[in-house]
Amino acid sequence: MARNSASGNVLSTLGQLAWPLILGTGITVGFFGLVFGGPLEHPLILRYFAGHPVSMVETALFFIGLVALAMKGQEVLAQLGISSQIDLGETPKDAGPDVAVTLLDRVAAWPSRVRKSYLGRRLTEALETIERKNSVEGLDAELKYLADMDVGRQQDSYSLVRIVIWATPMLGFLGTVMGITQALGDLDPKALASDIETAMQGLLSGLYVAFDTTAVALSFSMGLMFLQFLLDRVEVQQLAEVDARVAEELLTRFETSSAGGDPQVAAVQRMATSVLQATQQLVQRQVEVWQQTVNAAHNQWSQLADSNSQQLTSALQTALSQSLEEHHKQLARVEQHAGEQLQRRWEQWQTVLSDNARLLHAQQQEMVRQGEVMQQVLRAAGEVTALEHALNSNLSALAGSRNFEETVMSLSAAIHLLSARLGHQPASSVDLKSPPAKGRAA
């Protein structure tokens, strides 16, 4: 991981140097293309920017420094809205170092642009330090060290611009020296002795070019310095805000010791924390062992209960099957016995019904015969009644004769005899004391 980080830093540094050089050189070529035979072809521009090779190199350095500052300004502007996008979420106050793992997971979910910002990188490095040390002791010192590291990075990011700002006046002075040397070297002593005015004009034209390089270099250098100062002030303010935000996010979130600067107390606290953590791990391990024991016992009891349940189920099924089979046989015997009894009862009922039918038939025949007898009796009774009327009439007629009593006795005896034979008591008897009929008396 360290090798990857180092290689990444090297590539980042090369990228920061390469792009300004490439883009600055390209802009310089385009600028001089517009100067030589283009819309920017003007005597002043040709004098100050293309009057000497040193001036052209100064112009190239200016564009390189300007591109580097533009890239730096873009980076500074990108840092402005990062603070509002970073949120570590809610965690308990005075949390322990184990919370750093959770916070690092949250940080890993941020976009790459946020994680590479000053605030994101500062929080990531601080949380990684807490995770690595498994302690929040010395967090203040660590945050101060990280702040110094960011200040160092911020200063290093202007290295190319500072080199350009330093090298540009040096080139201007070099151009001046070279211009003076060239002017003095081109000065002809014979011309100076014979025509001093012409010699002085040549000398002054050379000196103009020599001092123009210094003027252009100082102008370029002041412009770059002013832009660097503005960006540096903005970035320093950003770093101060990052320091305050990191302190707010981490120092108020983690529980730090109040040992101050006493190393012995800090060591004792670290030992106590280590013992506490070891005790917690031991307790956790013991709880896990107990949990495994309880789970094993539970599984064993579950298996035993399942086995007993299966055996009990099998025994109950066997006993129930035997009981049902015996019950079925008993029901079959009872059904057969009941069927036989019902059959015998039915045969008895049929016999009794047959006897009753025969008795009813005999009674019917007897009743028919009795009816015929009754009809005969009724006819005989009718005849007897008619005979009684006839006798009564005769008795009434004979009531006044001498032999009336003898006749009456004879008739009575005859009536009794007839009644005895018929089994019928005469409906009426001869009234011997009744008076004779009125017609008969007359």
Mind listing the pLDDT tens digit of every residue in the chain (442 residues)?
A: 444 444 545 556 666 678 888 888 899 898 888 888 778 878 888 877 877 788 888 889 999 999 989 988 888 888 887 777 777 766 666 566 677 777 787 778 787 777 888 888 888 888 888 888 777 777 788 888 888 888 888 888 888 888 989 988 888 888 888 777 766 766 666 655 566 666 566 666 667 667 888 888 899 999 999 999 999 998 888 888 888 888 887 777 775 554 444 556 666 766 777 777 788 888 888 888 888 888 888 888 888 888 877 888 888 888 888 888 888 888 888 888 888 888 888 888 888 888 888 888 888 888 888 888 888 878 877 777 777 787 777 767 665 555 666 766 777 888 888 777 776 544 444 444 444 444 333 2
**Is 270 part of a structural domain of the chain?**
no
Q: End of a domain among 230, 256, 282?
A: 256
**Is 392 part of a structural domain of the chain?**
yes
Same domain, 116 and 252: yes
The conformation of residue 88, written as its DSSP 8-state character, comes to -
Token pair 């004879």 is at which residue? 410
Distance CA(174)–CA(57), nearest Å, equals: 11
Neighbours of 82 (CB within 10 A): 21
Token pair 């009894």 is at which residue? 341
**Is 114 part of a structural domain of the chain?**
yes
**Is 45 part of a structural domain of the chain?**
yes
Query: Which amino acid is it at 102?
Result: T
Q: End of a domain among 211, 233, 256?
A: 256
Q: End of a domain among 236, 256, 276?
A: 256
Neighbours of 211 (CB within 10 A): 15
Is 221 exposed, middle or buried, given 0-12, 13-18 or 19+ CB atoms closer than 10 A?
A: buried
Q: How many domains does the chain have?
A: 2
Question: Can you give the pLDDT at residue 436?
Answer: 45
The DSSP H or E segment spanning 324 is helix 263-398
Range of the domain at 103: 2-256
**Is 188 part of a structural domain of the chain?**
yes
The overall pTM is greater than 0.85: no
Helix, strand or coil, per DSSP, at residue 275 = helix
Partnered with residue 254 across adjacent β-strands are: 95
The conformation of residue 187, written as its DSSP 8-state character, comes to -
**Is 389 part of a structural domain of the chain?**
yes
**Is 368 part of a structural domain of the chain?**
no
Distance CA(180)–CA(203), nearest Å, equals: 9
**Is 311 part of a structural domain of the chain?**
no
Token pair 């956790």 is at which residue? 284
Q: What number of H helices and E strands is found in the chain?
A: 13, 0
Partnered with residue 95 across adjacent β-strands are: 254
